[in-house]
Structure 1
Amino acid sequence: MNDAAMTPGEAPGHDEDTAPISRIVAEVAATFPGERITLGDMAEAFGDRAFGMLSLLLLLPGLLPGMASVFGTPLLILGVQMGLGYRVPKLPKVLARQSVKRSDLLRLAGASSRGLKRIERWIRPRPGFFTSKAGERIIGWLTAYVAIMLILPGPGTNGPPAFGNIVMALGLIEHDSKVTGIGVALTVAGCAFATAILVAIGWLGVAAVGWFF
């Protein structure tokens, strides 16, 4: 890949053997060759694709134990802004300065692509409801709900919502309404699962207080 020839809004050529997550992360890494990449730089560089790109990069750690809650707040802000109809993200300065290591990003991309191969091979530009403004608002509010699930502590509540939202983000970046719709269904199911666990934990906590007092 010729890094110097790539501009921020230009995607690398599609390759049958390169999964979308790997291509997207390669684009980010080529655009920002330094050791660390800030969220603010990515938001500026990728324009109207920034919501999908940033959501994806914030969600990848959600598949790893103990890392999801750190990225929940910026993801919540992105989701609310998308739900309100913003065309590009407007990150607070304190979040815009947050950065990720280039090496960590590449490592996460490789691990995630292996788990998403079956879905990734279907992704291609397909217009439809979820590529419309109304569809993007639904994606935004679902993303905000996923962020809340990532922020709240609970055993096994991070992975399912994060996985569904990653599929949504991939569809959004690639303008694929069908895959985005699959991601919406997976996200709703994952959030329902996570919500049920959190409600059960809350109920057990209240019951435990009642037993002692």
Structure 2
Amino acid sequence: MPPADSVRRRRLLPHLLSAVRCGDRGGRVAVGTMLAELGDRSFGWALLVFALLNLIPLPLGFNMVTSLPVFLVAGQMAAGLDRLWLPERLTLATVDRRKLRRSVMKLKPIVRPIERMGARTWLRMLRRPPDRMVGLALIVVTFVLWLPLPLTGWFPAISIFVIAVGLIEHDGLITAVGLAIGAFAIAVGAVMGALLVAGAAQVV
């Protein structure tokens, strides 16, 4: 019989799709309803849901709004809080269900390697409450997500998603992979910012 954790990882996408389908309000679903369906308003599940919101195709600059909940969660992790607090206004906010479902389905190529890695490694390094250093790293990655620059939205959101899975499963290796993706996202953001500054200097 396979380990319980590996079975749970293999069922991650169906679990997410079930949460997206719940509480349909004319084609929309509330953030709080999704978190309740997932069964735990923990740091990991909240980060995972908010990462999904940032993976929905949106106009450039809209990530300056959708990244704010990630800042809220990451800030509480960095402060060492052991319980997540979310404002009621945020939990009542609704998202287009079909767009969110498409974002979940696009994650298949990312989730499957994570599931295989989790089934083989069993590396447990994270403490409760979540490590403050992870929270601080998430703040930096989220800042890159917040920047209204081209190519700076996808990689930070993927990084946050993978870190969230690591937190949910208390798996240090998966979290480390997410942090590595976050480091790459920070590098991309730095390059794009430098190119923007250089271009503006030439115009002036």
Query: Could you state the TM-score of these two structures normalised by the residue count of structure 2?
Result: 0.77
Query: Could you state the TM-score of these two structures normalised by the residue count of structure 1?
Result: 0.74
Q: Cα gap change, 1:167/1:156 in structure 2, threshold over 3 Å: closer, same or farther?
A: same
Structure 1 position 58 matched with structure 2 position 50: yes
Tell me the percent identity.
26
Task: Quote the offset at 1:133 in angstroms.
Answer: 4.4
Q: Cα gap change, 1:157/1:175 in structure 2, threshold over 3 Å: closer, same or farther?
A: same
Task: Quote the offset at 1:72 in angstroms.
Answer: 0.7
Contact kept? 1:83, 1:140, Cα under 8 Å: yes
For residues 54-85 of structure 1, the C-alpha deviation after alignment (integer angstroms, 9 at most, x for no partner) is: 21122124345436604111111111111111
For residues 113-144 of structure 1, the C-alpha deviation after alignment (integer angstroms, 9 at most, x for no partner) is: 23442233222583533x12486322222222
Q: 2:122 — aligned with what? A: 126
Q: Cα gap change, 1:96/1:154 in structure 2, threshold over 3 Å: closer, same or farther?
A: same
Which runs of no fewer than 5 residues in structure 1 stay unpaired? 1-10
Two-structure CA RMSD over aligned residues (Å): 3.1
Question: SS at the partner of 2:29?
Answer: strand
Cα distance in 2 between the residues matched to 1:132 and 1:163: 23
Structure 2 counterpart of 1:139, from 109, 126, 134: 134
Residues matched between the structures, number: 194
| Higher mean C-alpha deviation, range 131-140 or range 71-80 | 131-140
Q: Cα gap change, 1:194/1:23 in structure 2, threshold over 3 Å: closer, same or farther?
A: same
| Higher mean C-alpha deviation, range 73-82 or range 142-151 | 142-151
Runs of 4+ in 1 over 4 A off after TM superposition: 41-49
Cα distance in 1 between the residues matched to 2:7 and 2:149: 38
Q: 2:191 — aligned with what? A: 196
Choose between structure 1 and 2 for higher RCO, CA contacts under 8 A separated by at least 6 residues: 2
Cα distance in 1 between the residues matched to 2:56 and 2:113: 20
Task: Quote the offset at 1:190 in angstroms.
Answer: 1.6
Cα distance in 1 between the residues matched to 2:39 and 2:31: 12
Contact kept? 1:49, 1:173, Cα under 8 Å: no
Structure 1 position 173 matched with structure 2 position 168: yes
Q: Cα gap change, 1:97/1:64 in structure 2, threshold over 3 Å: closer, same or farther?
A: closer
Which runs of no fewer than 5 residues in structure 2 stay unpaired? none
Q: 1:34 — aligned with what? A: 24
Task: Quote the offset at 1:161 in angstroms.
Answer: 1.9
Structure 1 position 153 matched with structure 2 position 143: no
Q: 1:4 — aligned with what? A: none
Structure 1 counterpart of 2:91, from 82, 93, 96: 96
Q: Cα gap change, 1:183/1:38 in structure 2, threshold over 3 Å: closer, same or farther?
A: same
Contact kept? 1:76, 1:145, Cα under 8 Å: no
AA aligned opposite 2:24: G
